[in-house]
């Protein structure tokens, strides 16, 4: 009985140390896929909200779990028009930033990050069509946009290779004819690459 207890204790010690030692090491990288709501809760019938889809690549730096990240996002929102209509506004952006590790639990299962990033891209209003369905002329036009973002992200590791994420981000995009600030929030999946 003592032998079995010692073997189980040794296995728990080895596997516990192995799991902690293999997360957030300098040089490790990850790919994350995100799906977010934008400016409210999007249901398909919402007249003003939208959604955001993104893919990001990140690399862990230093001994503190901080990361550099680079990626791209597609953001789709709508502007109410008339009684029931809405005008689509889409942004295609590339983003590069740095995420600061704020805290984690002892087992390295939960991590919280705060980050700052720069972004640039293109915004299209009504997919470039100036004339609306009722014959009105749209004065907002397509533009190149630039700006930055502040984000807060929590990660929950399911294993050494897969983590679920939850995030909230504030995006500032200058050059837009429609809206400078967007708030996004949502979830994602992060895949760790050796």
Could you give the CA distance from residue 68 to residue 7 in angstroms, rounded to a whole number? Answer: 40
Q: What pTM was computed for the model?
A: 0.80
Instruction: Tell me the pLDDT of the chain (194 aa) as tens digits.
Output: 667 666 666 555 544 444 444 677 778 899 999 999 998 876 666 677 889 999 999 999 877 789 999 999 999 988 877 777 788 899 999 999 999 999 988 888 899 999 999 999 999 988 878 777 776 777 777 899 999 999 999 999 998 899 999 999 999 999 988 889 999 999 999 999 87
pLDDT at 74: 97
What Rg, from alpha-carbon coordinates, does the chain have? 21
The architecture of the domain spanning 2-193 is Beta Barrel (2.40)
Strand partners, 38: 50, 184
pLDDT at 105: 87
Measured in Å, how far apart are the chain's first and last C-alpha atoms?
39
For the chain, give the longest Cα–Cα distance: 85
pLDDT at 1: 63
């Amino acid at each position: 009985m003592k032998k079995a207890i010692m073997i189980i204790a040794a296995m728990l010690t080895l596997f516990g140390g192995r799991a902690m030692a293999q997360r957030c090491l300098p040089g490790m990288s990850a790919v994350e896929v995100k799906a977010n709501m934008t400016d409210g809760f999007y249901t398909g019938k919402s007249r003003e909200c939208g959604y955001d889809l993104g893919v990001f690549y990140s690399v862990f730096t230093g001994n503190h779990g901080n990361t550099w990240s680079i990626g791209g996002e597609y953001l789709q929102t709508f502007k109410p028009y008339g009684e029931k209509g809405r005008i689509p506004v889409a942004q295609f952006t590339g983003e590069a930033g740095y995420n600061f590790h704020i805290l984690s639990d002892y087992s390295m299962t939960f991590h919280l990050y705060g980050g700052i990033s720069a972004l640039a891209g293109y915004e299209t209003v009504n997919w470039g069509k100036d004339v609306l369905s009722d014959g009105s002329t749209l004065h907002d036009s397509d533009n190149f946009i630039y700006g930055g973002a502040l984000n807060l992200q929590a990660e929950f590791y399911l294993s050494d290779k897969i983590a679920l994420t939850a995030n909230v981000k504030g995006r500032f995009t200058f050059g837009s004819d429609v809206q400078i600030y967007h708030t996004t929030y949502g979830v994602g999946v992060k895949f760790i690459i050796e």
